[in-house]
Structure 1
Amino acid sequence: MIHIPAEEFTARVEKLRALMNERGIDACLIYGDEYRKENLRYIGNYWPLFERGAVVVPITGEPFVIAAPEGEMFCREMSAWQDVRLLPEFNCVTVPDEIEYPQALYTSLTEIREGLQRGGPLRRLGIVGIDAIPVPLARKIEHHFEGVDIVDAGDLLFQLRMSKSANEAACLQEAARIADEGYKQMIRQARPGMTELELASLVYGECTKQGAESIPFCLVTSGERVNTIIGRPSRKVIEDGDMIMAAIAVQVEGYVATLNFPFVTGEMSEEQKAFIDILVEAEDRALSQIRAGGKQSDVVRAVKAYFKEKDVSAYDLYPPMHGCGLAEAESPYPDENSEALFEAGMTVNTDVSLFGHPHGSNRIEESLIVTETGYESMSKLVRHLSATWKAKRILSLD
């Protein structure tokens, strides 16, 4: 079974504590909710459902999880840590009402502070996810921790999450495998007369059957609707010759792999083929720059130089690579001036795209593991589609 074992969560906490020591942080609160789940999942393996959550990591002693009443048993089922406490401020995120849970055994921010102080002086509290905490909750934390220096510690988790372990890579590889199967269904079944929503439903069904924990998104636009960076599937009827821009993100044990490769329903025009030619070659140039020790900015420069050569720079709207992991897009997100280097074990997505071009808008995206000598693609399908396109200018699944 693909999962992150308990000992890996323990190791993550110890790495976090080493960074906390360097910054003089006595305790760290890692916040998360249903949408901003990545840091909370990394430290605690908890992914709240319409409530808030947190893991508190003291500089010494066992971490504990903060949850809310409706998700308590769900939290206990998922959590990497046995100590789960309920906080009324973490109740349902979508309403201003104070909901009564008469059987809930709540703790309080005061009790949390007092417990942390029993382990030693509490002079500095680091908060991860401070940008995602609602203002009223942030004010309550500030009030109950008055006299404690509260600092943004988000960079500590971004630093830890940058390179992936073998277990993390395995989760991403499984997510990519499932995404491949969903995309195959889309290419096989797409036909004029069906709606974008019908096409997307095939992806959801196949990916769920294959074992996806979640499908964070399935983007589908067609025809004139591809003239956008992202787009949800609609009731638009797909017509013969419509370019399809579709992207599938699949989540396994919290880890998200994404793929996108342009295709056309029905007859493909020569202009559409020429457009896809540019994207395929641009991604090849991006891939040629990925290796441990290489500059991340070289990927960006290589793609931008090729787009300039082909006179399509006007349709190049954002950098062609970003990190992937517990979020579909995470650090690194380099531009042309980045000095950061690739490291073996990093996981990144190519995201080579053109939008607003006269003959279509689309991207090629695949998840990769950086190696000492280059990269390993997690999507066998994207590599196969790229190879068959370069050989025959057709999209063949065989």
Structure 2
Amino acid sequence: MNKKAIINQCMKENNLDAFLIYSPENRYWFSRFHSSMGYLLVTKNKTYLFLDSRYITMAREKTDLQNIDVLEGFGPNIWHRISDILKAEKISKIGFEADWLKYQEVLNFKKQLKIEDLMPVDTSKWRMVKDDWEIKQIQKACAITNQVYEDVLGWIKPGITEKALARFVSDAFLKHGADKLSFDTIVASGINGSKPHAVPTDKKIVEGELVTLDMGCFYNGYASDQTRTFLMGNEFNNPQLSTIYNIVYEAQSLGISMVKAGQNAGDIHRAVWKYIDEQGYGQYFDHGLGHGLGIEIHEEPYESSLSQTILQPGMTITVEPGIYIPGVGGVRIEDDLIVTENGYEMLTTSPRKLIKVN
């Protein structure tokens, strides 16, 4: 289903005459044009993209603008212009993104548009299934991520700090053609590995420690997200770390093997958690198994104990179990996949088995 059809279906289900899109993420998804500010108005007849003076020239020069019938610059009179369109097309009921607009903004919309029937609508599932172009951008972002991990393994050595590794990762992504990082790089060495979203510190990485590296990038506005945990040196300074690495590896393998169209995302999470719990570590795996990724690093579908989402071909998801033991350390392994009719396609291809960096 193309993007206009997705919004038309949403309008039909909610008995709407039009939809006013405000979030930069949904505007980019629909039009393929980045802007921090703008309004996208979708009616039953046309689509209108309104941009201010910072963006309008770039948009007019863009050769691959998608799904836009009318492109206009705007200034202080934007609300008069939108009101004129609503009157001309006899629009009385408008939808807006429930998870984006603040209450005060909704009141302002009502006042400026002189319309009372504004309906908040959950739009979080609009972007779940990617089209071919979107998948290609995510594939490229993941390919860059694979290259960066190779660079890391060739560069890292004992004595380097977590912050220095994070800086190296940032530079490497730009060198390989990424737009920017998709999130702040997570580096967690030694006992810091017990913190799932650890912030890099001045701590030096030493032999015998596990190092968890969670990183990703944007390419043409679409994200990658990969986590690897590797051993600095040849021998573990705590044999329990070897045990939990093997458990997480097998747990992730189980989760990946269950990915296919028609599968309940929540069932995958529950099966993986059960496996980890049977090994005696269930209390140390306390986050969802994974999430969708695309224009945002975390988006639908989510794989958690509460999820009832049925996987569909074209969904891009992560599978990322972890075990985190305070005072000991932790392990997380994360990959990006595309759901297919009969299973999945791996996007992140860096080695999943334990690597010992000498």
Question: Match of 2:313?
Answer: 344
Matches within 5 A, 1:194-209: 194-209=160-175
Which residue identity does 2:73 align to in structure 1? R
TM-score (norm 2): 0.89
Contact persistence 2:153–2:357 (CA under 8 A):
no
1:73 and 1:264, CA in 2 relative to 1: closer, same or farther beyond 3 A? farther
SS in 2 for 1:42: helix
User: How far 1:181 sits from its partner (Å)?
Assistant: 0.9
Question: Match of 1:41?
Answer: 28
Matches within 5 A, 1:44-55: 44-48=31-35, 51-55=36-40
Deviates more, 1:106-115 or 1:273-282: 106-115
User: How far 1:286 sits from its partner (Å)?
Assistant: 0.7
Question: Match of 2:3?
Answer: 12
Question: Match of 2:94?
Answer: 125
User: How far 1:358 sits from its partner (Å)?
Assistant: 4.9
Contact persistence 2:207–2:232 (CA under 8 A):
yes
- Between structures 1 and 2, the one with greater helix share: 1
1:282 aligns with 2:269: no
Greater relative contact order (CA < 8 Å, ≥ 6 in sequence): 2
Question: Match of 2:52?
Answer: 68
Query: Which of 136, 146, 149 is the aligned partner of 1:183?
Result: 149
SS in 2 for 1:194: coil
Contact persistence 1:275–1:359 (CA under 8 A):
no
Query: Which of 236, 247, 251 is the aligned partner of 2:203?
Result: 236
User: How far 1:109 sits from its partner (Å)?
Assistant: 1.5
Long gaps (5+) in structure 1:
1-7, 87-104
Contact persistence 2:291–2:300 (CA under 8 A):
yes
Deviates more, 1:173-182 or 1:187-196: 187-196
Distance 1:65 1:356 in 2: 50
Distance 2:308 2:122 in 1: 21
1:247 aligns with 2:247: no
1:114 and 1:316, CA in 2 relative to 1: closer, same or farther beyond 3 A? same
User: How far 1:76 sits from its partner (Å)?
Assistant: 4.4
Question: Match of 1:58?
Answer: 43
User: How far 1:47 sits from its partner (Å)?
Assistant: 2.6
Which residue identity does 1:192 align to in structure 2? P
User: How far 1:367 sits from its partner (Å)?
Assistant: 0.7
Which residue identity does 1:55 align to in structure 2? L
Distance 2:250 2:349 in 1: 18
Which residue identity does 2:190 align to in structure 1? G
1:226 aligns with 2:193: yes
Which residue identity does 1:111 align to in structure 2? R
Matches within 5 A, 1:90-105: 105=75
SS in 2 for 1:332: strand
RMSD of aligned alpha carbons: 2.4
Distance 1:165 1:361 in 2: 36
Distance 1:165 1:70 in 2: 29
SS in 2 for 1:83: strand
Which residue identity does 1:355 align to in structure 2? Y
Contact persistence 1:162–1:332 (CA under 8 A):
yes
Query: Which of 164, 169, 172 is the aligned partner of 2:135?
Result: 169
SS in 1 for 2:334: strand
TM-score (norm 1): 0.81
Which residue identity does 2:341 align to in structure 1? E
Query: Which deviations, in whole Å up to 9, do the C-alpha atoms of 1:297-332 show, x marking residues without a partner?
Result: 221121111111111111111121221222111111
1:214 and 1:77, CA in 2 relative to 1: closer, same or farther beyond 3 A? farther
Question: Match of 2:282?
Answer: 313
Which residue identity does 2:191 align to in structure 1? E
1:149 aligns with 2:102: no
Question: Match of 2:340?
Answer: 371
Contact persistence 2:231–2:356 (CA under 8 A):
no
Structure 1 runs, 4 residues or longer, greater than 6 Å off: none
Which residue identity does 1:69 align to in structure 2? S
- Number of matched pairs: 351
1:306 and 1:13, CA in 2 relative to 1: closer, same or farther beyond 3 A? same
SS in 2 for 1:333: strand
Distance 2:196 2:355 in 1: 24
SS in 1 for 2:321: strand
SS in 1 for 2:168: helix
SS in 1 for 2:246: helix
Deviates more, 1:288-297 or 1:369-378: 288-297
